Every structure is written in C-alpha cells, then in structure tokens.
C-alpha cells in the first residue's frame, strides 16, 4: 500500500508577537515519521511524504508542497494520503504559518480555502485532511464563501475516491495543547489511534481512527476544563483501512528526542535507562532468563512505559503483560514514588 502525505507543524514563526505553540512541530514530526517509516518498509520513496516544521512552514513552502503532492498523485496512484496541519488559527478562517505577520494577516495568513483548494487536486483512493488549529471549524465556511466552496471541492473527489476533512474545534473555540501528552489534543488522538484503539488485526480502519481521535480530543479537553468540539465531514467507507504503521528509524529518532530510548529483547539493554546490574538480573528472573518478547519491547519503545507515559497493553493470557506492569513499578520506585497494582480477582492472580 502506497501512502502520500504532507505534515505541517508551525511551532516557530518570524513574527513573535504571539506565543509560539510548544508541540505543533512534534505533532507533525510524529505523524510524518509513522507514515514515512511505513512507506519505507513497503519500498516506496521517501519523497511520498513531506514534513514542514518551524520556519520552513512558510506560505510558499506549504503551497509548493501541496502542489508537488498533487502532481505526484497523478502518477503515483496513492492508496492513502494524509495532509495534517498543527498551527495557530484565526477566527476569520485563516491559519498562521511561519511567515505570517499578524499586523497584516489578511495578506500573509493563508485562508483555509487555499489549503482545501489545493487538497482538492490530490488524487488518492482515500484522503484525509486534519486540522489541529484554533477555530479550525471555520474550514467549512459560510454559505457561498470561498472557504465553503473550496471545502466542498476537497470533499468531492473522483469516482472511487473517499475523502474526509476533520478539525479540532468549532469556529468559536480554541484548540488545546497538553504538556502531559506532549501534543495538541487532536493530534495526540490521531497518533494514539494509529498505535492503539483504531487497530484490528494488522489494519487501522480509517473511519474508526477519525471518530476516536475526535472523541479523545473532546474527552481530554473536558478533563482540562476547557472543552473543545472536534468535527468532521466524511464519505469514508467503513471498510477503508491502512496497514498498522511500523516503528522504524524515524519514529525511534522522534522518540529519542523526548527520552524514549530503544531497547532490544536482551534485558541488558535496560542499561539505556540506567538500570543497574542487580535490577537487570531481577528482571531476567521475571522472564525465566529468556528475552523480552515484541510486546514488552514495544511497551518500552515506542510505548514509553519507562519515561512515565500511559501504556495500555491488550494481549492474550500469558503474553507477558505482567512484566510490562512490573517495569512500570520499577520506574516508579527508582524515582522514589509509590506504585499501586490493581488485580481484577483473586482467581486470576492464582
């Protein structure tokens, strides 16, 4: 399956009159890494997916990248294309890119119609445009407006194409970032869906992915006490799917930037997290002097169980879930914190 994409994260701008977003660049980076690694595993060229972050995400840069993606799509025959934006948004239906001047935003902040108009030219069996921006619901526009016209064109597609546009908040709402998650809320939902809740077997079902990402953002915003309301227009088939993204060199590099270090099946590799020899020997006994299985390795990296990330492990009995929990306990104790282990019933324990 061949995947195309453009991932834009504006966390640094030439105009410093408005606070920069903390995690927009990382939103784009992680999504790009997941799809770029998957494409590489399938033998497809790196140029199929593009990443623009920080000061590279200028108006002309975004325009050029979208046009290049559209041009490639006319010969590449993409099965799936994802275009994603994490950036500030304005309540007049524009987004803030690296070279936007807020004093002259009408001339320098691209309207969303400019984005959706170029997206309309991209050919793909399945296409998803996601907008993690304040006031992103303005993408729909008012009746007969430029935004509304371009929005409908982006959704139309050709015969055999399914298209979705999803946004993080209503036209009158801001979109939130979370220091705990290290991402914008909607972007976090999209990333988590590709690794967890949208998966069935070896597939990620696209309609479930979008729906659950929106629900995740809504739930997290309520938890933060500042509700935001994602929305979407979709004509995706419920059977539309992409492969579960692989964890390759780009994903691992992105994880290492936030302290999630790779380990191998050999417990000795826990030295990367400063585990001493005695602790590693204890872990070896837990697994009967064998090696970590793939589930346990993935819980550490990219899962992040040893850097305090929340990890949900779903696997059959005897698959090694308990060891993941024990590693989380070890991390808590090493940081001089308490750990509580909840067990469902005494029968299951014994």
- pLDDT value at residue 144: 83
- pLDDT value at residue 195: 84
- pLDDT value at residue 81: 97
Strands (E), the chain: 3-9, 49-53, 78-87, 89-90, 94-95, 124-133, 162-167, 177-178, 183-184, 199-200, 203-205, 231-234, 241-243
Element of type H or E holding 192: helix 185-195
Read off the DSSP letter of residue 228. Answer: -
Residue 109 CA to its chain's centroid (Å): 24
- pLDDT value at residue 115: 97
Beta bridge partners of 87: 133
Whole-angstrom distance, CA of residue 89 vs CA of residue 97: 9
Strands (E), 194-293: 199-200, 203-205, 231-234, 241-243
**Contact between residue 304 and residue 255 where contact means Cβ atoms under 8 Å apart:** yes
- pLDDT value at residue 349: 54
**Contact between residue 168 and residue 175 where contact means Cβ atoms under 8 Å apart:** yes
Q: What is the pTM of this model?
A: 0.86
- pLDDT value at residue 15: 80
Long-range contacts of 321-327 (CB under 8 A, 24+ apart): 321/295, 323/283, 323/286, 323/287, 323/292, 323/296, 324/295, 324/296, 324/299, 326/283, 326/286, 327/283, 327/296, 327/299, 327/300
In this structure, how many other beta carbons lie within 10 angstroms of the beta carbon of residue 263?
Answer: 21
pLDDT means per 10 residues, the chain with 350 residues, are 97 82 96 96 95 96 98 94 97 95 92 96 96 96 90 88 96 95 96 87 93 96 95 89 91 89 92 91 91 90 85 84 91 85 67
Whole-angstrom distance, CA of residue 290 vs CA of residue 288: 5
Calculate ∠ Cα 71-77-80, nearest 5°.
Answer: 100
Q: What is the dihedral of CA 120, 105, 85, 144, to 10 degrees?
A: -40
- pLDDT value at residue 350: 52
């Amino acid at each position: 399956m061949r995947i195309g994409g453009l991932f834009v994260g504006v966390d640094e701008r030439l105009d410093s009159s408005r606070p920069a977003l903390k995690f927009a660049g990382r939103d784009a980076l992680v999504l790009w890494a997941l799809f770029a690694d998957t494409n590489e595993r399938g033998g497809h060229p790196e140029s199929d997916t593009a990443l623009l972050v920080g000061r590279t995400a200028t108006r002309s840069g975004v325009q050029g990248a979208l046009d290049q993606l559209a041009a490639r799509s006319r010969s590449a025959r993409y099965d799936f294309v994802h275009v994603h934006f994490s950036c500030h948004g304005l309540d007049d239906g524009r987004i803030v890119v690296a070279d936007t001047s807020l004093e002259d935003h009408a001339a320098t902040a691209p309207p969303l119609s400019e984005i959706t108009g170029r997206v309309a030219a991209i050919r793909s069996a399945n296409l998803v445009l996601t907008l993690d921006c304040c006031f992103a619901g303005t993408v729909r526009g008012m009746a007969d407006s430029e935004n509304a016209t371009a929005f409908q064109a982006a959704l139309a597609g050709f015969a055999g194409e399914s298209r979705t546009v999803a946004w993080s908040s209503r036209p009158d709402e801001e979109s939130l970032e979370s220091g705990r998650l290290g991402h914008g809320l909607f972007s976090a939902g999209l990333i988590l869906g590709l690794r967890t809740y949208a998966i069935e077997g070896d597939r990620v079902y696209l309609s479930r992915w979008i729906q659950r990402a929106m629900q995740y953002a809504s739930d997290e915003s309520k938890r933060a006490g500042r509700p935001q309301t994602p929305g979407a227009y979709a004509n995706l088939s419920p059977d539309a799917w992409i492969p579960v993204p692989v964890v390759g060199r780009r994903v691992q590099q992105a994880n290492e930037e936030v302290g999630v270090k790779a380990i191998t099946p050999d417990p000795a590799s826990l030295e990367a997290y400063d585990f001493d020899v005695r602790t590693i020997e204890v872990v070896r006994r837990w697994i009967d002097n064998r090696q970590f299985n793939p589930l346990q390795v993935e819980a550490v990296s990219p899962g992040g169980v040893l850097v305090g990330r929340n990890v949900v492990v779903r696997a059959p009995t005897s698959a090694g879930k308990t060891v993941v929990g024990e590693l989380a306990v070890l991390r808590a104790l090493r940081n001089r914190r308490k750990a509580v282990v909840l067990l469902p019933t005494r029968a299951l324990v014994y």
